[in-house]
Amino acid sequence: LDGKTEKVDDSFCSGHPKPSNQEKCSGECNMGGWRYSAWTECSKSCDGGSQRRRAICVNTRNDVLDDSKCSHQEEVTVQRCSEFPCPQW
């Protein structure tokens, strides 16, 4: 009623056909997606380290594209790891 949108269970929409999750694009349609290398080993074994990976922007045929073609997607190349306290006496 007040114009707000709230996510509810799919069962509330069972009387309506689900819309397609694809739509035709116009203009520049050669958008890419990030292809990642494997994560490096964690920089620390405890107390919070980080690990890294390389990201390459590619299209569906795995052709390398300029990074700007993947700007619609977040590039995740660093993540935290080993976030538990180190054992101590």
Q: Rounded CA gap, 31 and 71, in Å?
A: 9
Look at the chain and report how many structural domains it folds into. Answer: 1
Asked if residue 75 belongs to a domain, the reply is: yes
Asked if residue 46 belongs to a domain, the reply is: yes
Q: Rounded CA gap, 36 and 57, in Å?
A: 9
Is the separation of the CB atoms in 21 and 38 below 8 Å?
Answer: no
- How many angstroms separate the first and last alpha carbons of the chain? 59
Asked if residue 73 belongs to a domain, the reply is: yes
CATH number of the structural domain spanning residue 41: 2.20.100
Q: Which domain holds residue 75?
A: 31-84
Whether residue 1 has pLDDT greater than 70: no
Which pLDDT tens digit goes with each residue over 42-75? 999 999 999 999 999 998 888 999 998 898 889 9
Asked if residue 11 belongs to a domain, the reply is: no
Q: What average pLDDT does range 77-84 have in this prediction?
A: 95
Which pLDDT tens digit goes with each residue over 4-20? 788 888 888 888 888 88
Whether residue 40 has pLDDT greater than 90: yes
Asked if residue 1 belongs to a domain, the reply is: no
